[in-house]
């Protein structure tokens, strides 16, 4: 019997930025319907990792497989991905509706299918009152919601969210959590980076901790209550030198 392959497989990813290692020998897998939280202090390498997964930054070495295919060899597999970067890239002179329609067209949606996709995401993310507003005058939280809508519009198999709760009010944070859970229940794999441990325990079923570009922890969240996760996070952040020595000796 052949085992189902993971939706996403990172193998020994490496990337230097400004002459320094930003991500080092990172290997991870993610299955359909899983929600992985990526934690780490500032500069740990979370955004660099997510940018490589989303196809926006090429690794120096290592491989990325999507559905068993080599993403670096087949960049067209980007159609499987919905990406919300740390700062949603919006055109200030386009309205919310024009953004959605443009994103849909870029993903090959036309006519009735495009209208249906836009209507569905507008309703889901409660964007109706904002439809005719220019992106340039949206609040930060509204920009974040529009960025999330653009990432979800084409029904990606893998959702890559870089600090998605940034600037959202508590009502919108709760609604974001629901959207993430609904996506995972429908089979979408989700990877999200955050600084908020509570975000991970509330919504993720797995957690990975990056430090200085390397993976230091990868565990199921059900096995890790909030206090334990907090302790693990601080241990890694404060004792990384000692941990690295241990890892090097073990290697
Ligand atoms: N555009 C860039 N040019 C050069 N170096 C960069 C760039 N972006 C990030 N870096 C460097 O890469 C390393 C990893 O940064 P990255 O943004 O991936 O970390 P992060 O974990 O997402 O941080 P934060 O939590 O602050 O968003 C850091 O040393 C950072 O200085």
Closest CA to ligand 1's atom 26: 42
Side-chain half-sphere exposure of 214, counting CA atoms within 13 A: 12
Residues 19-53 have pLDDT tens digits of 999 999 999 999 999 999 999 999 999 999 999 99
Q: Which residues line ligand 1 (CB under 6 A)?
A: 17-18, 20, 22, 40, 42-48
Q: Mean pLDDT throughout 217-241?
A: 84
H/E segment holding residue 193: strand 189-193
| CA nearest to 46, candidates 21, 22, 65 | 22
Range of the domain at 52: 8-93+158-239
Between residues 167 and 93, the one the model is more confident about: 93
CA of 41, closest atom in ligand 1 = 25
Q: Given ligand 1 and candidates 43, 51, 167, which is best to mutate, with the most ligand atoms within 8 Å of its CB? A: 43
Task: Give the pLDDT confidence score for residue 248 in this predicted structure.
Answer: 39
Task: Give the pLDDT confidence score for residue 2 in this predicted structure.
Answer: 66
Residue 223 has pLDDT above 80, yes or no: no
Query: CA 68 to CA 222: how far, in whole Å?
Result: 27
Asked if residue 54 is part of any domain, the answer here is yes
Between residues 3 and 159, the one the model is more confident about: 159
Residue 73 has pLDDT above 80, yes or no: yes
Q: Look up the pTM and report it.
A: 0.92
Asked if residue 193 is part of any domain, the answer here is yes
Asked if residue 217 is part of any domain, the answer here is yes
Asked if residue 37 is part of any domain, the answer here is yes
Task: Give the pLDDT confidence score for residue 243 in this predicted structure.
Answer: 45
Q: What is the CATH number of the domain that holds 177?
A: 3.40.50.300
Q: What is the count of structural domains for the chain?
A: 1
What is each CA distance from 5 to 2, 58, 155, in whole angstroms? 9, 23, 20
- Predicted ipTM of the assembly: 0.98
Asked if residue 38 is part of any domain, the answer here is yes
């Amino acid at each position: 019997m052949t085992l189902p392959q993971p939706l996403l497989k990172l193998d020994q990813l490496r990337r230097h930025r400004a002459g320094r290692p930003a991500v080092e020998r990172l290997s991870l897998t993610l299955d359909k319907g899983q929600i992985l939280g990526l934690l780490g202090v500032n500069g740990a390498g979370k955004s660099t990792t997510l940018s490589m997964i989303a196809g926006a930054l090429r690794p120096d070495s290592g491989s990325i497989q999507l559905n068993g295919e080599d993403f670096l060899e087949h960049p067209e597999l980007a159609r499987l991905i919905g990406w919300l970067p740390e700062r949603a890239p919006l055109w200030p002179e386009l309205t919310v509706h024009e953004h959605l329609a443009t994103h849909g067209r870029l993903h090959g949606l036309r006519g009735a299918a495009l209208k249906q996709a836009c209507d569905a995401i507008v309703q889901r993310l409660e964007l109706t009152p904002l439809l005719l507003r220019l992106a340039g005058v949206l609040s930060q939280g509204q920009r974040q919601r529009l960025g999330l809508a653009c990432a979800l519009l084409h029904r990606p198999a893998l959702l890559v969210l870089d600090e998605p709760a940034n600037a959202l009010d508590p009502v919108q944070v709760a609604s974001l959590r629901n959207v993430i859970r609904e996506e995972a229940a429908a089979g979408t794999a989700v990877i999200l980076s955050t600084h908020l441990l509570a975000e991970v325990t509330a919504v993720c079923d797995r957690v990975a901790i990056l430090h200085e570009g390397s993976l230091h922890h990868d565990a199921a969240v059900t096995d890790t209550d909030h206090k334990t996760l907090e302790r693990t996070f601080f241990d890694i952040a404060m004792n990384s030198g000692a941990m690295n020595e241990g890892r090097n000796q073990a290697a």
